[in-house]
Structure 1
Amino acid sequence: MIEIKDLHKSYQMGSNSLHVLKGINFNVSEGEMVSIMGSSGSGKSTLLNILGMLDEADEGSYTLDGKPIKKLNEKVAAKYRNQFLGFIFQSFNLINYKSALDNVAMPLYYQGVKRAERTDKALHYLEKVGLAEWATHLPNELSGGQKQRVAIARALASDPKVLLADEPTGALDTKTSYGVMELIQGINDEGKTIIVVTHEDDIAHMTKRIVNLKDGVILDDSVVSQVRAVANAQNQ
């Protein structure tokens, strides 16, 4: 599903060049649930931005579902993002003046889906995350956990190949975090490929594989015994 080969990325900082990614090799198979861990400055956000087609590597290759991702103009990059990727952010990134339903339907609008079908699909995914009765509510009427569930429903609405979750529990308390991870694990159980960027060890162990980054290189890439979020929540 994802193939990264010898990826390098540097940023110009005044007269100096900061080498952020230093030859990353990284593959993700369809249906995997992988976490990327690393402290601030490790390169994990840069790697996620490249995976999300929000930035481009200087060297190396990135292939997504058989398509090489290189030198895309913004129109094509936006099309591929909408076709292949669903994003879940720490800060939810909901549109404050739109209802939960309209937020979830937004990716479908950009895909040219007609209003009636957009509404039906958005309601379906809100129901999937347990928020159908909150469809008409604005984000400021929702709790943090509910906002993240709306964001997950929005990410799923366009039926992406891969979900990219950037610190999806970073703004949530522990109990709510485990509830969100239980939902994400369920989505993975249905076959969706998921990559979670996190700095939280307990959240990483709720995935099935942990990739540790430090100073732009992969220190360790290990399959782990997945901790089920529902069991963890019950122990709180």
Structure 2
Amino acid sequence: MIEITNLHKSYKTGANSLHVLKGINFSVKEGELVSIMGSSGSGKSTLLNILGMLDEADEGSYMLDNVPIKNLNEKIAAKYRNKFLGFIFQSFNLIGYKTALDNVAMPLYYQGMKRNERIDRSMAYLEKVGLADWATHLPNQLSGGQKQRVAIARALASDPKVLLADEPTGALDTKTSYEVMDLIQGINDEGKTILVVTHEDDIAHMTKRIVNLKDGLIIDDSKVNQVKAIQHV
């Protein structure tokens, strides 16, 4: 599903150049649940931005579902993001003046789906994450965990090939974090490919494989015995 080969990325900082990714080789098969770990400055955010087509590597190749991701203009990048990827963010990124239902429906609007179909599909995904009764509520009427569930429903609504979750539990308390990870595990059990960027060891062990980055290189890539989040909920 994802195939990255010899990925390099540098950023200009004044007269100097900061080499952030130093030859990353990384692949993810369809249906995997993988966490990416690393301290600040390890390169994990840069890698996620490249995976999310928000940035481009200087060198190396990135294949997503057998499509080469290279030299995309913003219009094509936006089209591919909408087609291939669903995003879940630490800060939820919900639109404050839109209801939960309308937030979930947003990606479908950009796909050109008719309104009735958008509403039906968005309600189905709110139901899936246990929030059908909250469809008409605004984000400021929801708890942190509920906001993240809306964000997950929004990410799933367009049926992406891959879910990219950037610190999805970073703004949540422990109990709520485990509830969100239980939901993510359930979505993965249905066959969805998911990457989770996290700095929390307990969250990483709720995935099936942990990739550790340090100073722009992968220093460890291991399958782990998945801890079921429901045991902690």
Output the TM-score relative to the length of structure 1.
0.98
User: Which amino acid in 2 is paired with 1:139?
Assistant: P
Determine the structure 2 residue equivalent to 1:186. 186
- 1:41 to partner: Cα distance: 0.2
Q: Cα distance, 1:137 vs. partner?
A: 0.2
Equivalent runs, 1:160-171 vs 2, <5 Å: 160-171=160-171
SS of equivalent to 2:232: helix
1:131 aligns with 2:103: no
Distance, in Å, in 1 between the alignment partners of 2:228 and 2:141 is: 30
Written as runs of structure 1 = structure 2, the 5 A alignment for 1:82-161 is 82-161=82-161
Alpha-carbon deviation of 1:160?
0.2
Query: 1:232 Cα shift?
Result: 2.3
Structure 1 residue 202: Cα displacement? 0.2
Q: Distance in 2 between matches of 1:193 and 1:164?
A: 9
Gaps of 5+ in 2: none
Helix, strand or coil: the match of 1:213?
Answer: strand
Is structure 2 residue 16 aligned with structure 1 residue 7? no
**Deviation readout 1:173-196 (Å, 9 max, x if unpaired):** 000000000000000000000000
SS of equivalent residue, structure 1 residue 171: coil
1:68-106 alpha-carbon deviations (Å, 9 max, x no partner): 000000000000000000000000000000000000000
**Structure-1 residue corresponding to 2:229:** 229
Letter in 2 for 1:186: G
CA distance in 1, matches of 2:155, 2:65: 18
Distance 2:183 2:93 in 1: 19
TM-score, normalised relative to structure 2: 1.00
Match of 2:39 in 1: 39
Spell out, residue by residue over 1:24-82, the C-alpha distance to the aligned partner (whole angstroms, 9 max, x if none).
Answer: 00000000000000000000000000000000000000000000000000000000000
Number of the residue aligned with 2:51: 51
Residue 116 of structure 1, CA deviation: 0.2
Structure 1 stretches of 4+ moved >3 Å: none
- What is the SS of the residue equivalent to 2:81? helix
In the other structure, the counterpart of 1:18 is 18
Q: Match of 2:71?
A: 71
Give unpaired runs (5+ residues) of structure 1: none
Which residue number corresponds to residue 28 of structure 1? 28
The CA distance in 2 between the partners of 1:94 and 1:210, in whole Å, is 28
Three-state SS of the structure 2 residue aligned to 1:104 is: helix
Q: In percent, how many aligned pairs have the same letter?
A: 84
C-alpha deviation, 1:171, in angstroms: 0.0
